[in-house]
Amino acid sequence: MTDESALAPRTRALQLFDGLVTDTSLRRFLEGIPGVDAVGLEQRAAALGTRSIKTTSKAAAIDTIISMIDLTTLEGADTPGKVRSLVAKALVPDAGDAACPQPAAVCVYGDMVATAVDALGAAHGQISVAAVATAFPSGRASLRVKLADTADAVAAGADEIDMVIDRGAFLSGQYAQVFDEIVAVKRACRREDGTSAHLKVILETGELNTYDNVRRASWLAILAGADFIKTSTGKVSPAATLPVTLLMLEVVRDWFRLTGERIGVKPAGGIRTSKDAIKFLVTVAETCGEDWLTPELFRFGASSLLNDVLLQRQKLATGHYSGPDYVTID
């Protein structure tokens, strides 16, 4: 990355490959990125996880976390009723406290986008609708189907598209195929009026096996035009671990230093307690800076996290421990 041309915005960064994005040029670049010091990374993540955040800082952290949540339901058993109740929860997270912030978005399957948009009504815009697309969670479908899936969700009113990369292609070294797919899906995010839905690219780090692969996939996704890079689908374990998120944040930080462009990060899956979520906030602030602590640049993909955060919030407000009877069941 010492090349002069890399110090330019994304389009010029692609000139690294002489204008031709091929497996060979991508491999030369991605596999030329230095390897990850796994022990150092895990140690750094563990150290960041030991910060003690109390009282007013904790209250601020909790409100920040809520405003960053993509409230998610991605079950085969989802119904329009379930999506409507999810939206109702997003609109009024805590019925006992009108000052409670709202989550950033609701995240649903493509066929539920219209239901979610309808249920949000006038609040659509202040709360976004994110849709998973491209044959989520496996990504095993032809490009034609993936693009149709994406265009469908965008047409139904989705503000954000969460796509999955083709892990099979990535792991077998067909980087250009993964790159082209992201570019194509990004194009499918275009709306008729010329604006575009935000694109989050899910790397599914649980299937990438090594930290080196996570770093390469992050670079690949960003080069191809991702607005956000997202750890996982939530369907594969391990999902969003702190070291993997830290690693992705480092790539985002490096990209910002090179190009001045801010890319978002979204850990998803397995973050269930506010204690865990606060560790992520610390990691973001320490890696990318506090500028990144906004819903535009950092999100949590979660469902049960919101309830735990609300319980903590109630504890801080009332001074006594709250219980699951005092938050909605979902």
Partner 1 sequence: MSRLAVPKTYKLFIGGKFPRSESGRTFEILSAKGDFLANAAKASRKDARDAVKAARGAVSGWSGATAYNRGQVLYRIAELLEGRRGQFIDEIQRGENVSRAIAERQVDDAIDRWVWYAGWADKYTQVAGNANPVAGPFFNLSVPEPTGVVAMIAPQDSSLLGLVSVVAPALVTGNTVVVVASERFPLSAITLAEVLATSDVPGGVVNVLTGSPAEIAPWLASHADVNALDLAGAEDLDWVDLQISAADTLKRVLPPEGDAFPSLDRITAFTETKTVWHTKSML
Q: Which residues contact partner 1 (rule: CB under 8 A)?
A: 314, 319-326
Phi-psi region of 328 (alpha: psi -120 to 50; beta: other; left: phi over 0): beta
Give the CA dihedral 123, 127, 128, 129, nearest 10 degrees: -80
User: Which one-letter amino acid corresponds to residue 14?
Assistant: L
Residue 115 vs residues 64, 84, 234, 298: alpha-carbon distances, Å = 27, 7, 22, 25
Q: How far is the CB of 311 from partner 1 (least distance, A)?
A: 9
Beta bridge partners of 297: none
Whichever of 256 and 326 has its CB closer to partner 1, that residue is 326
Q: How far is the CB of 180 from partner 1 (least distance, A)?
A: 48
Q: How far is the CB of 271 from partner 1 (least distance, A)?
A: 18
Contacts of 31 (CB under 8 A, 6+ apart): 216
**Contact assessment for residue 73 and residue 108, using Cβ atoms and an 8 Å cutoff:** yes
* DSSP H or E stretch at residue 62: helix 55-68
Omega into 137 within 30° of 0, i.e. cis? yes
Whichever of 135 and 317 has its CB closer to partner 1, that residue is 317
> Which one of 70, 94, 159, 162 is the catalytic residue?
162
d(CA 262, CA 264): 7
315 is catalytic: no
* Alpha helices for 225-303 (secondary structure H): 242-259, 274-287
* Alpha helices for 156-273 (secondary structure H): 167-171, 175-188, 211-224, 242-259
Whichever of 35 and 324 has its CB closer to partner 1, that residue is 324
Whichever of 54 and 144 has its CB closer to partner 1, that residue is 54
Contacts of 144 (CB under 8 A, 6+ apart): none
First to last CA, the chain: 46
Q: How far is the CB of 325 from partner 1 (least distance, A)?
A: 7
Helix (H, G, I), strand (E, B) or coil at 128: strand
Whichever of 102 and 314 has its CB closer to partner 1, that residue is 314
Whichever of 34 and 321 has its CB closer to partner 1, that residue is 321
> Which one of 149, 266, 276, 308 is the catalytic residue?
266
Helix (H, G, I), strand (E, B) or coil at 16: helix
186 is catalytic: no
Residues annotated as catalytic are 162, 230, 266
